[in-house]
Each structure stands twice: as C-alpha cells, then as structure tokens.
Amino acid sequence: MRCPYCGSLETQVKDSRPTEDAASIRRRRVCPDCGGRFTTFERVQLRELTVIKKTGRRVPFDRDKLMRSVEVALRKRPVDAERVERMVSGIVRQLESQGDAEVHSDKIGELVMEGLRSLDSVAYVRFASVYRNFREARDFHTLIDELAQGDPDEPPPPKPKLSTRA
C-alpha cells in the first residue's frame, strides 16, 4: 500500500481488525520512511459494477463517491459514522447481489433516499433536493409533506389526548 504522505511502497500493517458489521477489515498502517500513520479498509467485492448515467454514459461504480454523497447530505447531522458505513455497505451489497453487472444511477439514488429516510430526515431532504433537482420552495413542501405522512404500511402515531380542564 502506497504511503499517502511520501509515496513509499514499503508501508507496514500495525493492527488489523474487522469493522463492527464484519463487512470489512480496518488496517492501521505506518510508513517506515516518513513515519506517517494511516488507516485502510479491505472489503469483499462480489462483482465489478458499471453505472449507467441518465445521459447513457457508462462509468465504473465508485463506492467512495457514494460515501461522499451520503456524507454531504449528513454534514453537521448527529448520525454515528458506523451507521452511515452500514447503510452504504448495505446499498453496495444490494447492488452487487442483484445479478446484473450494470445498474442505472436512478436505482442507486432511490436506494440512498430509502436509506437516508430511515437514518436522518434532514439528510433525506438535502439529498432529495439535489437528486430530484428541486427548482422551487414548493418542491421542498411536497417532499416534507410526504415525509410527514410516513410509510403507508406503518400505522400513524397515536394522537395526543387533549386535556378537558379549563
């Protein structure tokens, strides 16, 4: 593994351990040339995925790009990094196990929306505003109304009882 600080190829692994969800291995590394320390992650890759963009262009799937998009939506939100990692890993597993080597970008966007909806409603709205290309405030109102209605399969929360005392 190349050192991100000096470019040396002689880095050493100091510690390896599985992540909480056991989907990857976290390795602490040190460079003997410059003394730099850094972390790498090793993950299983079931298949090479290709993303078909809305324009029809095909690009290799990039897990890091997916993670950056989710992190942008979650910026300054109180969500544990481990939960974010589990969500992204789950999306990647779904995509890899669907049996197709090519996946439409719309499918990825919908999976991210689904994951963010259960993770953090503010991040969900942020991501949706970019993903669905919101043009006016009315678009936000529509999405927030959908969010407030919740899942149609889920029963509505009980209404608070009003006090009859005056």
Flag whether pLDDT at 163 surpasses 80. no
Q: What backbone phi and psi angles, to 5 degrees, belong to 60?
A: -65, 140
Distance from C-alpha of 126 to C-alpha of 79, rounded to nearest angstrom: 15
* pLDDT tens sequence across 68-84: 999 999 999 888 888 89
Distance from C-alpha of 24 to C-alpha of 86, rounded to nearest angstrom: 10
* pLDDT tens sequence across 99-150: 788 999 889 989 998 999 888 888 988 888 887 778 888 888 888 888 777 6
Tokens 């899942």 appear where?
A: 151
Contact in structure between 51 and 44 (CB atoms under 8 Å): no
Distance from C-alpha of 148 to C-alpha of 121, rounded to nearest angstrom: 10
Tokens of 69: 């998009």
* pLDDT tens sequence across 14-63: 999 987 767 778 899 999 999 999 998 887 666 688 898 989 999 999 98
